[in-house]
Amino acid sequence: MEQKKIHLNSDIIAQNIEMRMDKISAGDLPFAAAAELLSEIKNYVAKLNSAKAERYTPYIEAMQERIERHYLIYGLNNEQRPKDL
């Protein structure tokens, strides 16, 4: 029973991650909102076991780089950046 509960929880977490990834990938969010969703994705991934979490690592790294590049291009200072970037 406990194993099934853990599996269900990880499926729900994965659904939350995928939903947020879809919102970011749609490309119609401001970068601050995308950065906030990326932060939420990181929090959800931290709740998964390492085998499942590895699946999301390339996406997180790519989005992190894209968002940071946006802030560098537009010269936004640290106060204007999301806190966890």
* Predicted pLDDT at 74: 65
Integer CA distances (angstroms), 27 to 1, 45, 46, 84, in order: 40, 21, 24, 20
Residue 85 has pLDDT above 70, yes or no: no
Please tell me the distance from the alpha carbon of residue 63 to that of residue 68, in angstroms, as a whole number.
8
Burial of 48 (0-12, 13-18, 19+ CB in 10 A): middle
Ramachandran assignment for 75, one of left (phi > 0), alpha (psi -120 to 50 degrees), beta (any other): left
pLDDT, tens digit, for every residue of 2-57? 555 555 588 888 898 899 888 888 877 787 888 888 999 999 999 888 888 899 99
Q: Tell me the two tokens of residue 24.
A: 């970011």
pTM above 0.75, yes or no: no
Percent of the chain with pLDDT over 70: 76
